[in-house]
Amino acid sequence: MRFLLISLCFFVVSCGSYPEKQNFLTENSTSQEIENLYFSDPSIDYVYKASIDVYDRNFSGLLIIKKLTDKEHRVAFTTEMGNKMFDFSFTEDNFQVNFILDELNKKMLINILKKDFKVLILENPLISNSYSKENNQVFETLIYNKKHYYFTENNQLNQVIKTKNGKEKVQFLFSEINNHLANQIEIKHQNIKLKIKLKSITQ
């Protein structure tokens, strides 16, 4: 009986929500908005030196993100010589693979990349809850039906955490931010061997 009670207590603690585990303070207002402006200017071709580590392979080159209209982005990954590795189109509700290298043409990987890049380009996700922790305001939202937490300090987005069952699954880090441009972006997956590092060379 004692073992059963201990196991039950451990189960309850381990299944707590992400805000509970992180000791977030709940805020009453959900009327605030999140603005992710890092890829929002249609006059700019956002170009990053990119390194993608997937399982035991590394792919390096240039990642280009372009906002075409209010509801459309294009995301392309090429070698530094200009050969395409993948080319995706995002609209408000749709995703299209225009091209992908055979080595990367795996359904699971495409789905992961789709979700990762959607987080990068989504400008105004809808807030379901808001919290605070230390100097950060934290906003909870759903992207592809998964909870994501946007961390902002002084109204500047510096981190997004994707969770599942109260646990961190993907971390998006934005740093060296200048005039709505994140010069460094890192995407780290916790449960699979996938890491994306981006360094801006946008002029």
Predicted confidence at residue 27, as pLDDT, reads 85
For the chain, how big is the Rg over CA atoms in Å?
18
DSSP reduced 3-state for 5: helix
Q: Which helix (H) or strand (E) holds 175?
A: strand 167-178
Predicted confidence at residue 15, as pLDDT, reads 61
- The beta strand positions in 2-44, using DSSP E, are 25-26
Predicted confidence at residue 112, as pLDDT, reads 97
Whether 30 contacts 137, CB under 8 Å:
no
Whether 19 contacts 131, CB under 8 Å:
yes
CA separation for the pair 26, 131 (Å, rounded): 4
Predicted confidence at residue 41, as pLDDT, reads 96
Q: What is the mean pLDDT of the chain?
A: 90
pLDDT at 6 over 60: no
Point out which residues pair with 138 in neighbouring strands: 131, 151
Query: Two tokens at 92?
Result: 């408000």
- The beta strand positions in 4-116, using DSSP E, are 25-26, 45-54, 57-69, 72-78, 84-91, 95-100
Per-residue CA distances from 177 to 50, 71, 151 (Å): 17, 24, 14
Task: Write out pLDDT tens, residues 138-169.
Answer: 999 999 999 999 999 988 999 999 999 999 99
Residue 9 — very low, low, confident or very high, per pLDDT cuts 50/70/90? very low
Residues near 142 by beta carbon (within 8 Å), at least 6 away in sequence: 125, 126, 128, 148
Predicted confidence at residue 31, as pLDDT, reads 57
Task: Write out pLDDT tens, residues 86-142.
Answer: 999 999 889 999 999 999 999 999 999 999 999 999 999 999 999 999 989 999 999
CA separation for the pair 202, 141 (Å, rounded): 29
pLDDT at 4 over 90: no
Residue 29 — very low, low, confident or very high, per pLDDT cuts 50/70/90? low
The rounded Cα 93 to chain-centroid distance in angstroms is 17
Range 72-81 average pLDDT: 96
Residue 16 — very low, low, confident or very high, per pLDDT cuts 50/70/90? confident
Residue at token pair 């509801």: 71
Task: Write out pLDDT tens, residues 51-67.
Answer: 999 988 999 999 999 99
Percentage of the chain surpassing pLDDT 90? 81
Domains of the chain: 18-200 (2.50.20)
